[in-house]
Amino acid sequence: MAQLTLKVNGKAEVLEVEATSMLLYALRDNLGLHGPRFGCGLSQCGACTVNVGGVAVRSCVTPVSAGVGKEILTLEGLSSNGKLHPLQEAFIAEQAAQCGYCLNGMIMQAKPFLEHKPNPSEEEIRQELSNNLCGCGTHLRIVRAVQRAAKAMAGGVS
């Protein structure tokens, strides 16, 4: 066991974990965060996606030690002062959730993407999210939600 300090959603968290254990388990089991989900455990579905140092990563295959010294952002950390992030608002407005299992991954994959590409085409959005699986088939609503969030994040109307 190792004592590691992670900065998660803006707060320093000291954890007693195996340094080789996966970040997903530290976030869920040690910190009680339920945004990142266990899906496949093989980095293939995207349900576990979090942002580490501003980059979308699959936490089910990322060692917890890889998060030391970097800002880790989960779905729970997107909202601030009781206000939802434009991505969260857009996913609600577009009714992009059916079962909701993929939403964490879709939103956490889209956040750094929109920060680097504020006015993406529909094809670019589809390409960015292509490795995040949605079994319910709400892909059209998810794409519309990302488009809506892009406008809102650029200062447009959501």
Residue-range domains of the chain with CATH: 2-77 (3.10.20.30), 86-153 (1.10.150.120)
Is 156's pLDDT higher than 80? Answer: no
φ, ψ at 111 (rounded to 5°): -60, -60
Residue of 146, 74, 25 whose CA lies nearest to 158:
146
Measure the CA–CA gap between 75 and 98, rounded to whole angstroms.
17
Provide the pLDDT for residue 137: 86
Do 25 and 15 meet the contact criterion of CB atoms below 8 Å apart? no
Q: What percent of the chain has pLDDT over 70?
A: 99
Give the per-residue pLDDT at 155: 85
Bridge partners, residue 72, by sequence? 8, 52
| Cβ contacts of 122 within 8 Å, gap of 6 or more | 143, 147
